[in-house]
Structure 1
Amino acid sequence: MKKISINNIIKLRLKSDKSQKGFLNSISKDVEIKSEGGGNYWIRSLSAMNNAIKLNSTDPIKDKITELLGLFVPSLTNQTKDMYQRNLNILYNYEDFDLSKWLPDNYDIVSKTNKKSIIYIETIPVQITPSQIYTFEKDRKQYVGAIWFVAKLEGYNISELGMFAEALFIYLSNNFDQNFTVFSQNCFVVDVLGKQEVSYQDLIDDKIPKILKPTLELIKKLS
């Protein structure tokens, strides 16, 4: 297996015992498991959310709303119209959102270039792709945080969002352990469709169970 995404780890958990191994084999053969909940489906809304964090402004969200509204023409298929509308619904949720609720007062965006996006956890190569990473200073100490926007049509439950948060913490710990301390409250996952938010601090406080590593142990047994 070259890599497995958090989304596919979650999909595997939802499979029956009999179908889990077949699903895992399809991933190992690099067969793309596609669904309307896939990354490309939400690219318009998620990219706008990413840019909003980068610029510390909701203008990219408002601009994307205008752009998407302009794409609605009579010749569109119903499937494409549904896709545009669902992306719009996400953007409408956040067009007037106060981004400071998610972010420290002053922060610097960090490039993801040259950062390890595939990290071995329990010997399994897990692909971790945060939306934006940033550094900031607090009480004269240097910290790193990140935000990860995710979306799935049928929604994520809170434990599944915890898997993203746990993976995000591991990503930051592996890529920034020398010069920065990972700030667990700013290790943040947002389900933009369900409007749910989870931080790694929620896992530390036992508000959400840690199920990532036990699931990876299951994958090891199935491999």
Structure 2
Amino acid sequence: MKKISVKNIIAFRRKSDKSRKTFLKSLDKVKAIDSESGGNYWVRSLSALSSTFKSNDNQHIKDKIEAVSDDFAKSKRKQTKDMYQRNLDILFNYENFDFSTWYPNKTFKILEKANKKSVIEINKVPVQVLPSQVFTFTKNKIDYVGAIWFVAKLDGYSKAEFGAFAESLFIYLENNFSKKYQVSYENCLVVDVLNLAEVNYQMILDRTIPAILGDTLNSIRENL
């Protein structure tokens, strides 16, 4: 296995014992993009949220609403119109949202992700982690690193499943930035953009949310 996304780790977890091996084998094959889980399905809304978080300028969202609305009007296929509408729903949810509420303090600064490893070995499984933005800040004379990851799924994830995103995000930051920064648990933030909910790694440590990533990866390794 070259890599597995957190989305597919959760999909594996949802499979029956009998179908898990087949599912893992299918990941290494070239597959047609399905109606919802394809990589570009949510890109219109998630990219706008990421840009807005980076700049704290909601104009990115307003511009995207206009562009997606035009695409929606021109489209004739119901499936495509549904995709545009779902992206619009997310954009409208955050059109007037104050993104700076996610900034830890005034020393907040975006870090470039270029040249950083997106595939991290966790429990001997290569896991792909793709945060929306990585940032630094200083508190009590300590330089911290954090990240935010905007996530969408039609049928949704449980809190524990969102926690798996936060767990992998923490490990990503540890692997890529811990030599220079201390990882902020509270700022390993995963945002459920469909339900306007948030999960962070501190919740895992506090056992508010169960940690499922390790056991799931062990099961994946056993089924390879």
Residue 4 of structure 1 is matched in structure 2 by 4
How many residues are aligned here? 223
Give SS of 1:38's match: coil
Task: Sort the Cα spacing of 1:28 and 1:77 in 2 relative to 1 into closer, same or farther, 3 A.
Answer: closer
Distance 1:138 1:152 in 2: 34
Please tell me the residue identity of whatever aligns with 2:118.
S
Identity rate, percent:
56
Residue 81 of structure 2 is matched in structure 1 by 81
**Equivalences for residues 75-154 of structure 1 within 5 A:** 75-106=75-106, 107-154=108-155
Distance 1:34 1:122 in 2: 29
Distance 1:217 1:74 in 2: 47
Task: Sort the Cα spacing of 1:30 and 1:79 in 2 relative to 1 into closer, same or farther, 3 A.
Answer: closer
**Equivalences for residues 51-70 of structure 1 within 5 A:** 51-70=51-70
Task: Sort the Cα spacing of 1:195 and 1:133 in 2 relative to 1 into closer, same or farther, 3 A.
Answer: same
Residue 24 of structure 1 is matched in structure 2 by 24
Residue 200 of structure 2 is matched in structure 1 by 199
Distance 1:12 1:209 in 2: 17
Task: Answer whether contact 1:27 1:33 (CA < 8 A) is retained.
Answer: no
Task: Sort the Cα spacing of 1:212 and 1:131 in 2 relative to 1 into closer, same or farther, 3 A.
Answer: same
Please tell me the residue identity of whatever aligns with 1:79.
Q
Task: Answer whether contact 2:72 2:85 (CA < 8 A) is retained.
Answer: no
- Unpaired segments of 5 or more residues in structure 2? none
Distance 2:72 2:218 in 1: 46
Please tell me the residue identity of whatever aligns with 1:22.
T
Question: What TM-score, normalized to structure 1?
Answer: 0.95
